[in-house]
Structure 1
């Protein structure tokens, strides 16, 4: 029994590679780039980042590059807050060569939280490459209910004054 478990553990460790998380940061243009050349076989790559605005809208894309038999097939690309999945990227295209494009658009994120971007898949041969980019912008603010009530009260008062003037 112990030999079987040991053999299974060795087999899994040789076919599944998982590197330590890589920190990425946003530049002055509010973008962050990342890329990797995973070894042949299954892989999970993890990137950690925080957003620069209190309420940010994150857009992201990942593209695989194919040269000869060097191909990457993603099984899942997703974003977590460290404990639960927040957003799954969608595969938006695959061209005739097999190159994949995955994207996430306008995901609302908060500052001060370490977000984790995971890319899971398999690489047909060493030397396959993927590259991605994250971009953020301040999310449009949503007014608080008190502010909305104040605006409505002001419009109502202005309407009442106009109604009284027409009546007089």
Structure 2
């Protein structure tokens, strides 16, 4: 069994401390329409073009912008990866198979949803679906993997 790509188990706890608050903040900012300008700082932008603005496109510019959505996205992505890529306390062939099956299942479900969204959702609503789609593979994986792990633990008892 090859687990050289997995992190030590202790990183899973850090992942949960980033992932859960990131999800909660992300859902709150989406459903409560929280203004992204809550935290505004100058940042490096590799490519910048004002939305419906008249200013020219800029490459490698310092701009002042709200970064709340970026902080939330980083929390979800890094937290999710730490959870998904950390070893279990007992890492064996069974957990490796659960991990692999959950990954494949998450990809299939994710792309079925994306395909349906492409066919039936349009305009800015589709853009919103794409934003959520950045996070759904890791969320689906975490849910499926932990569900199967919990189910196998209850079957053993």
TM-score by length of 1: 0.19
The structure number with the bigger radius of gyration is: 1
Higher RCO, 1 or 2 (CA under 8 Å, sep at least 6)?
1
> When you count strand as a share of all residues, which structure comes out higher?
1
TM-score by length of 2: 0.20
